[in-house]
Amino acid sequence: MTDAAELKRRTAELLAAHPPATTDRLDFLRARFDAGLAWVHYPEGLGGLGAPRSLQVVVDAELEAAGAPDNDPRRIGIGLGMAAPTILQFGTEEQKRTFLRPLWTGEEVWCQLFSEPGAGSDLAALGTRAVREGEDWVVNGQKVWTSSAHLARWAILIARTDPDVPKHAGITYFLCDMTDPGVEVRPLRQITGEAEFNEVFLTDVRIPDSRRLGAVGNGWKVAQTTLNNERVAIGGMRLPREGGMIGPVTKTWRERPELRTHELHQRLLKLWVDAEVARLTGERLRQQLVAGQPGPEGAGMKLGFARLNQEISGLEVELLGEEGLLYEDWTMRRPELVDFTGRDAGYRYLRSKGNSIEGGTSEVLLNIVAERVLGLPAEPRTDKDVAWKDLAR
């Protein structure tokens, strides 16, 4: 079994063969993947060594100390946090070997084609259709709120392949090439003035059956793996103390004593404690992941992430007064990254409003926590056994 000493030895060999100071960044990342040091808990040949997930920090620490490049994880977060674990669990061997390496090295950016104008919180009501024609599927429909679609080469896509069965049963999961004919990406401008996400139109897009992930009609089960990992990726990211949104407001508090009041002090103390509790809870959640797949607990983490960001950014704007209502870069930008902490307070306040929508609305996540964590009775679902084609729309 691979232990910490073995990982340190392998990392030293990687650094000796590919010195970071003289090796091209992409060449180094490819060599790291091939050495099994990308994500050590993945199987051999797929960027890992079948080692315990908890040992990844050993490799990361050694490489960071040596000044080795990383794969810019925030830029490729959808691929790393959502597409990769789904492909690993449900993909064929050919799919795993084709997609995982360029995904991890950042050569190919991924996006998520799930939500639709009429199927957001009720995702299983989606209407994008995929019809089998020989060895291909022909896809028509519209997706919305698609982060990074303007940058992505690949997308994880769910579409309806059987309208004659209940909505959860007639869905199939695909890997879609965003450069194929018929894929059109249009920007959606948001309250911040930016367009970090998009609507995507699919018109007679042909997807080979070889890019189907999982069985026909089993797409909802595959999608649950993606969604569980998405909530962990959003709400359970590793942060240092005073990392994330609490960092800028505490920095302002310390540097601008003239802004302080007793009432704001009490609120800041409470939010600082809440942020620290969330950070430590996230550490526990990641420890649980070592033993298995992410479960519904990720929904609770994502709920807390959204509430905290909105309350902290609101406090920051109050602390700064009129100054907090302004930010300098109100432009129609197409950013590669969402940067919460490196921007003005006004930006953080506006952008955090989306946290309770993206990655599953807070209302839906409350139901997940109630039913799957607390064991409370499920809400009545009158359409559970009704064929999708017979649903009111």
Q: Looking at the annotation, which residues are catalytic?
A: 230
Q: Is residue 358 within 8 Å of residue 196, measured between CB atoms?
A: no
Exposed, middle or buried: residue 374 (CB in 10 Å: 0-12, 13-18, 19+)?
exposed
Torsion of CA 115, 121, 125, 126, to 10 degrees: 0
Q: Which two tokens stand for residue 357?
A: 């929508």
CA distance 295 to 91: 20
Beta strands at 171-177 and 136-147: parallel, antiparallel or unpaired = unpaired
Closest C-alpha among 167, 155, 85 to residue 114: 155
CA nearest to 85, candidates 35, 42, 37: 42
Given the DSSP bridges, would you call strands 154-160 and 110-113 parallel, antiparallel or unpaired?
A: parallel
Give CA–CA dist 309/296, Å, rounded: 21
Residue 112, beta-bridge partner list: 156
Instruction: Report how far residue 102's alpha carbon sits from residue 95's, in angstroms, rounded to the nearest whole number.
Output: 12
Name the nearest CA neighbour of 333 among 322, 345, 347: 347
Q: Would you state the structure tokens that stand for residue 173, as one six-digit string?
A: 């999961």
User: Whose structure tokens read 């896809």?
Assistant: 139
Closest CA to 139 of 196, 73, 203: 203
Find the DSSP H helices in the chain: 4-17, 25-34, 56-65, 77-78, 84-90, 93-105, 219-235, 246-255, 262-289, 297-320, 345-351, 362-368
Handedness of CA 142, 148, 152, 158 (dihedral sign): negative
